[in-house]
Structure 1
């Protein structure tokens, strides 16, 4: 019989099992600890780096210790997130981790004896599409509202186009509003009628949430808007000049050469300086240029 705590007596299967349940962070510091529970081993252990096939979410839920009804509810939410087995497996691991963190249950303990309210919510849950866009699943967004109210909340949250944490707050507020109305005996159809246009509500919620952001964000937002307008204006001016340059046809409306000739012809011939310039140039040619040319010819004849 082997002892898991003694490295000398471990078999290959025991080492592989411990490696499968050892977090990567603990492997480098403490060695094979096997501290991960069964519902997280495929997500956080080093064997996930070499595993080509992701774990089945059903197996992860069965190893977590949850009841059958709660397992089916979480599995329904995981399947709504995506069709890929790896996406479902990652969502299930993150959801179980968030559930342990909310209930303050250590990773080595099974998820048993959940609160009755949470058990009922998870057993009859209708998944919100908001869960798809969150890095960590929110347990409070799993609800039991009617389908039409769920679609209403999804539409409003999607149309707000806010940050993720702001969408979480909006979804939670709308869920509480709908749950309070149902608890007061109001019919879902009446809640939909009183709610009004979802797009208009999303627009108003977006304005309210943006006004609640920090002053620094508003300053940065206005600066970016100003820079964007300046760049757009410069681009439009450049585009207008380019189009004008490519499409314009040059038209000469003034004869500058003719005007110069007219001014020259207006001067009397006896007062024109060109004859004097010509005589001076000819004299320069005779006195300076011709001796130089003659010297070059003499040198060429000597060589």
Structure 2
């Protein structure tokens, strides 16, 4: 099977700060998402036991059962195994050296397979349970933290990206941190009295390349509010929803730029994660093939990047 190395060097442009916060009305906008609606997140019950260098258990959502195990197989090297719907997923990670591999196959016969909407719905519920029940950030044990990061990545995995691939990345080469842009008013959380804009979150798609202004957004990164689980955009005042390929709209909320979906259990803000959000929150579905390159570029960020706070 073709193996993919997800490495990206990105240059960024910066915008200033200082505009005053305006109250955000609760007006919902439904974005175009390539003609498909994502399957709803499936909530459930998490049972997790930890021992020295390991975390394992089950996540149950109705008839869906996820079995998982994360363990340190060598000093600083972690193996994560997740099983659901007859699908076996594995992540092998050496975070200190920014090296690892991902794999997925049918448990019955070892054949190649893919994550589909029904799998993503269960994995998203599993990921939400890990974010809820595990200690935040580096307070979680390493085995639990890399379990959480792997599951978060699989929960967003497009069907058009092969499950078996190599993931390499190191800070400054594979990924670039944007911790300073996750702050407004000097704080990582809370409402913004002044802005700290990042320019630009960008992607390429059927509407044009990275340089097309309709594929670019001016974003305030960080955990600074949400509206019904969505973000805000500016159009004669702050509105709730996601603009669909407008020319450089200003956006914030729902932990824009953070690795993983929304506000997860880790606090990694990176260029590639920002660009991925700038794709899936700009008229494309979470698993849209148009966002595959942003997803693969952000994979090493999610697995290896350090937390901003």
Does TM, normalized by the shorter one, top 0.5? Answer: no
Higher strand share goes to which structure?
2
Structure ID, larger Rg: 1
Q: Counting helix residues as a fraction of each chain, which structure ranks higher? A: 1
